[in-house]
Structure 1
Amino acid sequence: MASGSSTRDARQAKAAQMRAAAAKAEARRRTLLVSGVVLALVVVVVGVFVVVNTTRRDNATSSAANPANITDNAFVDGESSAPVTITVYEDFQCPYCAQFEAANRTQMAQWVKDGDVKVEYHPIAFLDKASTDEYSTRSLNAFGAVVNSSPDAALDFHNLLFENQPAEGGAGLSDDQLVAYAKEAGADEAAVRTAVDEATYEGWTKRVTEASSKAGVTGTPTIMVDGQTVNLTAADDTATLATAVQNALDAAGK
């Protein structure tokens, strides 16, 4: 009898061990299954995040409208027949650009009036980080709206933005202020308001900024005369620009 009892006990112990091993195996299987599901969900979430952000970037750089009255990413002041071209890369948040404009604007306007020069303005948005509300992009978007709907007001609006330039490090001009200055310059207020509220030309601001980088522009203001960079001694240097323009006029026989 003892032998039969021992055999039965041994079988029961072995069965218990097998049940315990099976339970552990099932627990491991469930853990692996749950881990796999969690990992899959993480992959899906990350994938969706990447797709959404890539789509946003693509929409910003490729889908937005281009303003009318822009030639090769520039707004041109002056006659196409002018013998000399001044190219100006500027950012509406750039204080040195404001200094350049204050010092040289009158002379450039006179050259344009005389038919000697045309000025190609390339406003770009390098300095969004210099404000708390991406003012470079917002102001350039507003400029695009003015150029598109009221090109005759574009230069006056450009000038007003520099004359009323906000300090770096804080908030830029509000959207309402941008629209008010556009109206003061003579632009179509309703058209500008819509483009400002909807950021219609935000994609264009990114494209022209990227184009300037590809063209080798690394800072603002960057000034060129007939394609040659003018190395100003300071932002308010007028003599160097005047000399470069005169040399170009001489070379053109003007």
Structure 2
Amino acid sequence: MGTLAGKKAFITGAEQGIGKATAQKLIEAGCDVYIHYFSGEEGPKELVALAESRGQKAAYGFADLTNEPAAVQCVSAAAEFLGGIDILVNNVGGIIARKWLGDIDIKFWQTVIDINMTTMLNVTQSALPYLKVADEGASIVNLASLAGRSGGHSGSLVYSMTKGAVLTWTRSLAAELGEHQIRVNAVAPGLILGTRFHNQHTTKESADQTIRDIPLGRAGTPEDVANAICFLASEYDGFISGATIDINGGVYRM
């Protein structure tokens, strides 16, 4: 099993929810971190204070990662602050709204694609030069979703499509970057309460119904996902790549 002590991690969308829990877990595992955020500095400030209390480095920066120059600038700032990038966590994403097929217009279609996929392209492409020269190989972890596996609930058509694409992106990128000793994996969370995503787009009734169908009998937490991301970020003999860990309490089994 590898160690994360002293590793340099860049996490996107880490102001709350899964991203914040992941940044906290990486800090507790010994990483120096750079925290990207899009809305709200409260979470990043807490994470910086945690890192500094442990004698580690942490900083944060704002960027609209759908914009290529902004993404390049944010990644460059992270690499400069950290002295490189060993771990990239592509966490940014969102459903935006629930829209059924007849209600989807081209603007909405493109917005969801940009938030869930273009951000991942912009950030990963910008980080690639730093990942290639990481001392002991590098690790990329992408956030997919159970919706990318199962198709999601009604009204999540475009979101589910993009998360399915993230799964394929992960497999393809693992094949392409393996020669540079860069491992690429994904996590596919199911119902994870305590996140802005479900607070805004999932009703209590819908959540309760979903929980009734989960074999473990509960919803997941951001920490459940953060644990899996930290596992994939670690070296672990360097032979896990192109994989997806499903985090859904057993409701979807492959």
TM-score by length of structure 1 reads 0.23
Larger Rg, first or second structure (1 or 2): 1
Q: Which structure ranks higher in relative contact order (CA pairs < 8 Å, sequence separation ≥ 6)? A: 1
Question: Which structure features the higher share of strand residues?
Answer: 2
Question: Which structure shows the bigger proportion of residues in helix conformation?
Answer: 1
TM-score calculated relative to the size of structure 2? 0.23
